[in-house]
């Protein structure tokens, strides 16, 4: 199994900076101070132009926003911005929620998950079974692009063995069953093509005999509210072992880009 984060939300810091610096905007209440001791200082929002507050993470193309020792990822920052916009609480009146970690912890406790929908993450997932993806697609707010068995020849594809079938005895049974299914698949495709059926249609018909253990790969995108919903169900003890492993791998990557959004997951 391979899980690779290939895209995630980044803020346009110049646009954010201009938005806060626009005299015609009502970002701040009229009676608010013009300068705050926080990340949203008027005209000094953390950006590429403020090197002391914006640092590259070694070994990656990712960046962190910092202020007074607090590092804030783009996804976490965007969720806080969305929440503070709702209440115009840019001046951070509550010390318990003055930091991004504290603010999002309160969002999670109150279950105000809508603000987590603004940022998203996209993964390239490979080396998983069709059994797994049949379960994953039940999370309907995710977006999927998966290898097509109508176009791609599966006669020599790979197999993903379920963890419960990892013994020498069961592996032999699985291998025999998979080899027989692939042989029948290839025979069906050849037979249909010999009758004049186009190859795409032939593969689409023959794929019905392929096992759920057939390996596949897909690109999946979801916002952070949706990814939290996936993790809450697929990390549970009752979830299938293969998708539990996927959820654990996803959590590792999601914590890198939105640690405060996933602070309550162990």
Count, residues in the chain: 266
Q: What is the pLDDT of residue 107?
A: 96
Q: Which residues are catalytic?
A: 234
Tens-binned pLDDT, residue by residue, of the chain (266 aa): 999 999 999 888 778 777 776 644 444 444 433 333 345 443 333 333 332 233 334 444 444 454 455 778 999 999 999 999 998 888 888 889 989 999 999 999 999 999 999 999 999 999 999 999 999 999 999 999 999 999 999 998 899 999 999 898 999 999 999 999 999 999 999 999 999 999 999 999 999 999 999 999 999 999 999 999 999 999 999 999 999 999 999 999 999 999 999 999 98
The CA distance from 33 to 40, in Å, is 12
Domains in the chain with CATH codes: 9-119 (no CATH), 120-254 (3.30.70.3180)
The CA distance from 120 to 15, in Å, is 19
The CA distance from 264 to 266, in Å, is 6
**Rounded (5°) CA angle 134-136-140:** 105
Show the tokens assigned to 257.
């880009």
Q: What is the pLDDT of residue 199?
A: 96
- pTM assigned to the model: 0.84
Does residue 205 contact residue 188 with C-beta atoms inside 8 Å? yes
């Amino acid at each position: 199994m391979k899980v690779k984060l290939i895209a995630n939300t980044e803020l346009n810091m110049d646009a954010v900076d201009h938005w806060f610096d626009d005299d015609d905007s009502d970002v701040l209440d009229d009676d608010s101070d013009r300068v705050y001791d926080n990340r949203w200082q008027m005209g000094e929002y953390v950006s590429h132009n403020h090197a002391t507050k914006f640092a590259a993470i070694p070994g990656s193309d990712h960046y962190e926003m910092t202020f007074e020792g607090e590092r804030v990822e783009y996804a976490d920052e965007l969720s806080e911005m969305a929440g503070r916009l709702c209440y115009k609480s840019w001046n951070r009146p509550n010390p318990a929620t003055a930091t991004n970690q504290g603010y999002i912890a309160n969002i999670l406790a109150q279950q105000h998950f809508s603000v987590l929908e603004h940022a998203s993450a996209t993964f390239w997932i490979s080396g998983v079974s069709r059994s797994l993806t049949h379960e994953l697609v039940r999370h309907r707010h995710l977006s999927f692009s998966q290898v097509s068995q109508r176009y791609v020849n599966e006669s020599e594809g790979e197999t993903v063995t379920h963890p419960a079938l990892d013994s020498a005895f069961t592996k032999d049974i699985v291998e025999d069953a998979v080899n027989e299914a692939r042989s029948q698949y290839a025979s069906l495709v050849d037979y249909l093509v010999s009758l004049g059926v186009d190859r795409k249609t032939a593969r689409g018909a023959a794929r019905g005999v392929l096992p759920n253990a057939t390996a596949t790969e897909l690109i999946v995108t979801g916002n952070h509210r949706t990814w939290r919903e996936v993790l809450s169900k697929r990390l549970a003890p009752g979830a299938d072992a293969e998708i539990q492993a996927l959820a654990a791998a996803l959590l590792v990557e999601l914590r890198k880009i939105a640690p405060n959004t996933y602070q309550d997951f162990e």
